[in-house]
Amino acid sequence: MKNITFKPYSNCHPGEYWSIFFNSEVVKYPRGEREILFFLILNDEYKPLLNNYGDACYSVIVCNKSKGISPKSKITKIKKSMLSKEEYDPINCLIELPELSCFYKRKFRVLVEKKSDLSFITKIKRSRDDEWENIEGEFDGYKKSDLKFNEDYIIKSFKKVEKNIFYKERINRLNCILRIFNDYKDNQGILISDDIAAKKFASGRKSGFYSRYIMLKKLFEEPSLENIKLFF
């Protein structure tokens, strides 16, 4: 009998936990593919950690899709951190590493942190030396360009093209875009990253929310009347 492995969403509060790495999947989103690594969160007795509703807690690592052949990729960094003391060889690990599936069902100490409204695993404690490994990749988090995308940027972009919008509609249209932006900004008022938006909005009933996120990105990349019209 073939078992079906779960692919849950992250529902774990920030903190340091034991976990079991049990699955990974490449997910296709409108702006590219991501590899999701799934972890079951455990308590200090190595039993599944339950939330207030009696549901098991899970967390994830989100990576850019990678063949795992680049020594600088996030997947490579994760695999190195998962090697046991017996498996780790400082020379061999720079030449080759096991398939990701070889690490399934292993226990790891992980650090879960909150980004926007979602939680992700950002560090893994290395089994070989009990030291924390920061697994955040070069392409994670905010891009420099994303840091500019806030309410002030939207207002300035709108001002550049408002002469082409009927006078009585200008304020309403600007306020409408700002209201939409409120659903896609973090606690600092900055547009959330692609990875967070994809995980939060890109599937099921929330796919319409992801479409609006793409519209905001287009407006940021090219503040034109055509991209403003996408909202109406």
Q: Give CA–CA dist 189/2, Å, rounded.
A: 47
Question: Roughly what angle, to the nearest 10 degrees, separates helices 207-221 and 170-181?
Answer: 120
Confidence of residue 137 (pLDDT cuts 50, 70, 90): low
Max mean pLDDT among 71-75, 124-128, 165-169, 189-193 falls in 124-128
Q: Is the pLDDT of residue 148 over 70?
A: no
Q: Is the pLDDT of residue 138 over 50?
A: no
Question: What's the pLDDT score for residue 86?
Answer: 94
Q: What is the mean pLDDT of the chain?
A: 81
pLDDT digits (tens, 9 = 90+) for 175-206: 888 888 888 888 888 888 777 887 777 555 55
Where exactly are the structural domains of the chain? 15-134, 146-229
Question: What's the pLDDT score for residue 121?
Answer: 93
Q: Give CA–CA dist 61/22, Å, rounded.
A: 12
Could you tell me whether strands 58-64 and 106-115 are parallel, antiparallel, or unpaired per DSSP bridges? unpaired
Does the global pTM surpass 0.75? no
From residue 56, alpha-carbon distances to 9, 47, 52, 165 in Å are: 11, 10, 10, 52
Q: Give CA–CA dist 49/185, Å, rounded.
A: 30
